Copies of this chain bind each other. A is one copy, B any other.
Amino acid sequence: MSGNLTILKLGGSVITDKNADEGVALKEEISRLAKEISSYKGQMIIVHGAGSFGHPLAHRYSLVDNFDAEGLVLTHRSVKILNSIVVDALNESGVKSVGVHSMDCFTTTDGRISSSFLDPIRIMIEKGIVPVLHGDVVMDSTKGVSIVSGDQVLPYLALAFGAGRIGLGSAEDGVLDENGNPIPLITNDNFDYIKACLGGSACTDVTGGMLGKVRELLDMCHGRSMTSYIFNAKVAGNVLNFLNGEEIGTAISDSLE
């Protein structure tokens, strides 16, 4: 499936009210996104963020640093509810999709994915089923539990499956400079120069905000010919435009070439 596969992330701030103290899904937005996605017929993996279904609980129980069984149970339960809302909306729009939980198919070592099980996902893609993964709590071989953000899952899967298109649908027009304008291209060559202009995500985000997203995508493309896009998924049509091959938002690649 190398090259033909598209991986799309729907940010937690796009599909949830990220300022809420507990999980609030933006169901109309999710339905709109599902309809856009249904117009695209290629092979696809969807990853979504946890938004207010994950970050407040993970923060409350300090799951980034501490093992807490109750926190693990409640956070996983919560993000699975969001996943089922997204999967149901996709199926209602005709996208045959199945939730796949990061807790079931990844483990981490010190917070980074260190083992994975991709066989079911591979067969799903071959059979025209869209796997829908998400940011989640996962079992960690050193800390017991850790957080895996959708931003970590996206490049991991893109590399594992050799994805041809990689998009991160966020709540902003791309990676914004200090004047609020999207930066057209970020590379491993110019990142140090423009890093100072990037701000963190304003809300509770235990997984690193916009800077974390850029770092994950730059690490992914290091030494490889892979371009990914961070774009505004809240603008109607953008997700479908990305899926249809449009260059959109901020492009992330290894070098200026």
**A interface, CB within 8 angstroms of B:** 67, 69-70, 72-73, 76-77, 80, 84, 87-88, 91, 96-101, 103-107, 115-117, 119-120, 123-124, 127-129, 138-141, 144-145
Contacts and interface: CB of A to CB of B under 8 A. Distances in A.
A69 B84 contact: no
Copies in the complex: 2
B123 A107 contact: yes
A179 to B, nearest CB: 44
A104 B96 contact: no
Contact of A105 (B91, B117, B145): B117
Given A67-B127, A120-B107, A73 B91 contact: yes
A123 B139 contact: yes
A119 B104 contact: no
A141 B123 contact: yes
A116 B120 CA distance: 10
A77 to B, nearest CB: 8
A121 B104 CA distance: 8
Given A98-B76, A105-B104, A139 B119 contact: yes
B97 A73 contact: yes
Nearest to A107: B119
28 contacts: A70-B96, A72-B96, A72-B129, A73-B91, A73-B96, A73-B97, A73-B98, A76-B98, A77-B84, A77-B87, A77-B88, A80-B84, A80-B99, A100-B103, A100-B104, A101-B104, A104-B105, A104-B120, A105-B120, A107-B119, A115-B117, A115-B119, A116-B117, A117-B117, A119-B139, A123-B140, A127-B144, A127-B145
A17 B180 CA distance: 58
Given A76-B98, A80-B99, A115-B117, 19 more contacts: A67-B127, A69-B96, A70-B96, A73-B96, A73-B129, A77-B87, A77-B88, A98-B103, A100-B103, A101-B104, A103-B120, A104-B104, A104-B120, A106-B120, A107-B119, A107-B123, A120-B139, A123-B144, A127-B144
